[in-house]
Structure 1
């Protein structure tokens, strides 16, 4: 009985802690990118893309294939990859490989930022922002659909 109660409490607590509702303000944070350069979230960001799994990161990578450097920045899009669950041995190979990307990847090494925004780990979360406030939230599992959404973000 106590174990069941504890499981329910933990589940409910985790659901509330990970979801953002429209109208909520994104709290300021600073994380390093794949080049160990700090990136500080600003209210100018229009879209925050968050990937919390390798599958989600692959969707972003495929959507960004052949895009020029500065593509995301021109659209005021910031991409955050949660790498907290990647073993340190895996990070030794993964982070250097990320340096080949033509776009900035903000790395959440502790998982403290990404978890505030994402409930589903298997998809890319798209947070549409206006002046640092959440307007809309979508998820993507298809690189083509994400790529089309990024193209529309230029408007």
Structure 2
């Protein structure tokens, strides 16, 4: 009888667990503070001072963000309250280590890197797009997706990012 109860609970767990997996964040959800290293191995912290979370999950999304931020530096992003996070977990680790991250070091702004994908797995993203997540004390107030660098650049300008 004990083995039947064990087998029954195991089957039930296997059936129910995929249904209770968390879905991605949406407007009204509150993010926990995030701490990650950037491409220079310096610690970056997303906290209540951030007004915007700029997020890229795909290579295409990252390129859109990189183009939109061209000519900007860390000081400009900080003044506008913008925190840039990239999920690079889908990238082969050797490519990330020896090609991508060294290339990122040439950028004038820092990128918080989620190398495992665990911290950013619930952040909202659209396929081949950049996410601009508006925040109020880490509570999501607005979600926008950009598949065009010029449109993102304009949105960032409206958000207070200076040239």
Coarse TM-score class (shorter-chain normalised)? 0.7 to 0.9
Give the one of 32, 52, 69 matched to 1:64: 69
Within the alignment, does 1:83 sit opposite 2:69 as a pair?
A: no
Cα displacement string for residues 104-143 of structure 1 (whole angstroms, at most 9, x for unaligned residues): 1000011112211124241111110011111011101100
In structure 1, list runs of 5 or more residues that go unmatched.
Answer: 1-5
Q: Residue 11 of structure 2 aligns with which residue?
A: none
Please show how residues 118-129 of structure 1 align to structure 2 within 5 Å. Answer: 118-129=124-135
SS at match of 1:70: helix
TM-score w.r.t. the length of structure 2 is: 0.82
SS of the counterpart of 1:147?
helix
Tell whether 2:144 aligns with 1:152: no
The Cα shift of 1:68 comes to: 4.2
- 1:94 equivalent to 2:91? Answer no
* TM-score, structure 1 normalization: 0.86
Alignment equivalent of 1:25, drawn from 2, 25, 30: 30
Q: Which residue of 2 aligns with 1:110?
A: 116
How large is the RMSD of aligned CA atoms in angstroms?
2.1
What is the CA–CA distance in structure 2 between the aligned matches of 1:63 and 1:139, rounded to whole Å?
13
Distance 1:83 1:146 in 2: 20
Q: Secondary structure at the match of 1:50?
A: strand
Q: Which protein is bigger by CA-based radius of gyration?
A: 2
Structure 2 unaligned spans of 5+ = 1-13
